[in-house]
Amino acid sequence: MGNSMAEKKALTDAQRRIVLKALGIAPLASAGLFMNLSLSSCSNDSTSPGDGSIELKVSDEPSLGNIDGFVRRTYGSNNNGDPIIIIKTDENTYRCIAVGCPKNCEKKSPAPALGNPKNKEIICETCPMKAKYSVDEKNFGNVLESGPSQTLREFPVTFNPTTGILKINF
């Protein structure tokens, strides 16, 4: 007959609502639950887990200081944890692609991967056909030779020249 913690029963949902209402926070609790349910029902067209966006200060990447400069990076679980290539294609213009070759000519591990950009093109080094794609701003992502009908997988980017911040959306 003691009042020990083990003997106390948990509040029912109805009792919790009464307590919240008495405290005057029921509307806040309901709003929080509604927001949580609303956000969890949002769909993302991306099939990659952990995809979101990152911000990169361009001045921190000296390679991006010149047109045709590039960096190859991995950003956590974005793009399934696979690397991306960021290329400066024109003044204040940057493009971002996945390193996975869209040719995907062999189902072997590791999957075919693009090499580094050179002479305004990029080649799938592991592909027996050496698929070649344009990384020239006017023809970006298009197949040059020996390639598939698909273009390079590109991620949308925005660049703010005032702040020097490049935002990549996965």
pLDDT tens by residue, 90-145: 999 999 999 887 766 555 556 678 889 999 999 887 777 778 889 998 889 888 87
Cβ proximity of 125 and 114 under 8 Å: yes
The residue extents of the domains of the chain are 10-40, 53-169
| Confidence (pTM) | 0.65
CATH fold label, 53-169? Rieske Iron-sulfur Protein (2.102.10)
**CA distances in angstroms from 151 to 93, 103, 113, listed in the order given:** 19, 9, 14
Name the average pLDDT for the chain: 76
Give 39-57 pLDDT, tens digit per residue.
333 333 333 444 689 999 9
